[in-house]
Amino acid sequence: MNVRRARLLLHVIRLSLRAPRDRSTRWERYWAETDEVLWDAQDPAEAAHYAALLARHADPALPVVDLGCGSGLVTRALGDRVVGVDIAPAAVARAGAGDFRVGDITDPALGRALHAELGDCTVFLRGVLHILDPAARRRVAETAAALVGRRGSVLIAETDFPGPLLGYLESLGAGPHGIPRPLARALETGIPRPRPFGDAELADAFPPSRWERVVVDHSATIAAVPMRAAGVREQIPGHLAVLRPVTGAAQQTHSPTP
């Protein structure tokens, strides 16, 4: 490791030591105390792209459920019948008016309960799966499977930075002299660190035997708030997919994957 990265690593360690020991409170603390949320970039073009994909590939008669909606900035662009779900009450409170609810998207029972209320749905996931471990991703996939039923589809947009954490931080302006404040807040509140999310991770959580790949885009990007230049949103390499349940597999999707 060179001197620059060694100094950056010391910054990361120092910030990480501030994280609350109780992991269950970290998301709530992040949303309650952070003014400039890392991924709340308010990029109209990105949101419009998701809306266009749903218009092209999803059943317009179905409601949309945004799993891990955060403050709802993108949720509102997805249509008139949209439900946002997030684990942090502070995020749901920040979302304000609309149908936003507190819930654990890694619990497939949430999907079954919402499906009983709403029927088949379109599911939207942005910037959620890349911060979960493989087992949690599979549980989110079961939640999505319960929601889509037979007619729904899933739009997934995740970051997929091709390198280690320090390289990811450097790509967003971190270095030996410090870390941009939005990144620093993520580290010191202890929210999960990003992991790659590409074809292999998609196949593990949403296996092709159960999910048809309608669209896969390896050139997608996910917008983040400005960090290197004022007023210029960061664009993180991403992975985008639109999926539908394979005909005949929908009956199996209510049983959790081991």
Which of residues 239 and 3 earns the better pLDDT score?
A: 239
- Mean residue pLDDT of the chain comes to 93
Beta pairing class for 154-159 and 234-245:
antiparallel
Q: Please, which pLDDT band fits residue 247 given cuts at 50, 70 and 90?
A: confident
Residues 6+ apart with CB under 8 A from 80: none
pLDDT at 207 over 50: yes
pLDDT at 257 over 70: no
- Tens of pLDDT, residues 153-186: 999 999 999 989 999 999 999 999 999 999 999 9
CA atoms of 234 and 66, how far apart (whole Å): 23
Angle at 184 between CA 180 and CA 185, to 5 degrees: 125
25-33 mean pLDDT = 95
Q: Are 50 and 78 in contact (CB under 8 A)?
A: yes
What was the pLDDT predicted at 42? 87
pLDDT at 253 over 70: no
- Tens of pLDDT, residues 125-154: 999 999 999 999 999 999 999 999 999 999
What was the pLDDT predicted at 254? 39
pLDDT at 256 over 70: no
3-14 mean pLDDT = 93
pLDDT at 206 over 80: yes
SS3 of the chain: CCHHHHHHHHHHHHHHCCCCCCHHHHHHHHHHHCCCCCCCCCCHHHHHHHHHHHHHHCCCCCCEEEECCCCCCCHHHHCCCEEEEECCHHHHHHHCCCEEEECCCCCHHHHHHHHHHHCCCEEEEECCHHHCCHHHHHHHHHHHHHHHCCCCCEEEEEECCCCCHHHHHHHCCCECCECCHHHHHHHHHCCCCCCCCCHHHHHHHCCCCCEEEEEEECCCEEEECCCCCCCCCEEEEEEEEEEEECCCCHHHCCCCCC
pLDDT at 252 over 80: no
Q: Please, which pLDDT band fits residue 250 given cuts at 50, 70 and 90?
A: very low
Q: Please, which pLDDT band fits residue 24 given cuts at 50, 70 and 90?
A: confident
Distance of CA 16 to the CA centre of its chain: 21
CA atoms of 14 and 117, how far apart (whole Å): 46
- Tens of pLDDT, residues 75-127: 999 999 999 999 999 999 999 999 999 999 999 999 999 999 999 999 999 99
CA atoms of 81 and 89, how far apart (whole Å): 21
**CA nearest 169: which of 17, 38, 32?**
38
pLDDT at 194 over 90: yes
pLDDT at 188 over 70: yes
What was the pLDDT predicted at 249? 59
The type of residue at 29 is R
CA atoms of 36 and 59, how far apart (whole Å): 34
Q: How many CB atoms lie within 10 A of CB 46?
A: 21
52-73 mean pLDDT = 97
